[in-house]
């Protein structure tokens, strides 16, 4: 399969058309962004870490029966994925209170949720990805009622599979974001699963091992991504 032209460039990835109509190349860039792109740095090695971590986690999910767009890792920074029509919603699962939930609701950071919380957000940077009630997702026709149920079920399965796997590697899965798309009417998990899109905390020490190190200027940003890769691939 050969890359032909870039179809879509986001903040952290480029999606390339290929000579196969049903496939794309997803290339991970070295750009780190936060706060809707207002904080931006180029960080050597980041694209490779995210491609390799994402590939591992997609393979793990496929083995557990989750339908994902991942086909094959083809280079340090690239994977082949199936071409999807993406829904304009982001699905977030929270096991432990952090980030926007703490800011928005004044919840105590670190509070545990069992069962976990599943939330929907509108994928729109200009509007700063606002949170949506399920009724909004339905009324704005961002997803059908069936798709909403399938996304919730799938997100909780991903949480069980990833959470269990990471726990064995000494990592607590605090929260994460998923994006889904459709292929021939079937709902498929797309995008990436990496320390950019998840919160990972060391189970023993609570040390932050994800993009919060960049968001909060904590230092040791790439060292943490390297350690996540070492642990998930060991």
20 forms part of the interface with ligand TMP (CB under 6 A): no
18 forms part of the interface with ligand ASP (CB under 6 A): no
DSSP string, the chain: --EEEEEEE-SSEEEEEESSTTEEEEEE-SEEEETTTTEEEE-TTHHHHHHHHHHHHHHHHHHTT--BSEEEE-SSSEEEEE--EEEEEEEEEEEE--HHHHHHH-PPTT-EEEEEEEEEEE--GGGT--EE-HHHHHHTTSS-HHHHHHHHHHHHHHHHHHHHHHHHTTEEEEEEEEEEEEETTEEEE-S--STTTEEEEETTT--B-STHHHHTT-S-HHHHHHHHHHHHT-
Q: Which is nearer to ligand ASP, 36 or 230 (CB)?
A: 36
Q: Residues 20, 23, 34, 202: which binds ligand ASP (CB under 6 A)?
A: 34
131 forms part of the interface with ligand ASP (CB under 6 A): no
52 forms part of the interface with ligand TMP (CB under 6 A): no
Q: Residues 10, 22, 37, 164: which binds ligand ASP (CB under 6 A)?
A: 37
Q: Residues 36, 149, 160, 230: which binds ligand ASP (CB under 6 A)?
A: 36
From 43-51, 141-149, 165-173, 197-205, give the range in contact with ligand TMP by CB under 6 A. 197-205
Q: Which is nearer to ligand TMP, 33 or 55 (CB)?
A: 33
35 forms part of the interface with ligand ASP (CB under 6 A): yes
Q: Which is nearer to ligand TMP, 101 or 209 (CB)?
A: 101
Q: Residues 18, 33, 77, 154: which binds ligand ASP (CB under 6 A)?
A: 33
Interface with ligand ASP by CB under 6 A: which residues?
11, 33-37, 211, 215
């Amino acid at each position: 399969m050969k890359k032909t032209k870039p179809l879509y460039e986001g903040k952290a990835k480029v999606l390339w058309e290929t000579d196969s109509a049903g496939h794309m190349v997803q290339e991970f860039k070295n750009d780190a962004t936060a706060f809707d792109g207002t904080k931006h740095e180029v960080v050597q090695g980041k694209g490779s870490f995210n491609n390799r971590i994402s590939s591992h986690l997609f393979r793990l999910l496929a083995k557990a029966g989750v339908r994902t767009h991942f086909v094959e890792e083809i280079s340090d920074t690239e994977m082949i994925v199936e071409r999807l029509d993406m829904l304009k919603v982001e699905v977030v699962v929270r096991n432990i209170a952090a980030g926007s939930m703490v800011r928005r609701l004044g919840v105590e950071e670190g509070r545990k949720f069992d069962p976990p919380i599943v939330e929907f957000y509108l994928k729109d940077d200009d509007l700063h990805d606002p949170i949506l009630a399920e009724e909004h997702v339905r009324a704005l026709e961002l997803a059908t009622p069936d798709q909403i149920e399938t996304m919730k079920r799938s997100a909780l399965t991903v949480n069980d599979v990833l959470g269990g796997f990471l726990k064995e590697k000494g990592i607590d899965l605090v929260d994460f974001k998923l994006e889904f798309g459709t292929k021939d009417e079937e709902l498929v998990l797309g995008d990436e699963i990496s320390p950019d899109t998840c919160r990972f905390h060391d189970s023993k020490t609570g040390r932050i091992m994800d993009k919060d190190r960049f968001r909060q200027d904590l230092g040791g940003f790439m060292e943490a991504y390297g350690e996540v890769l070492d642990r998930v691939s060991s």
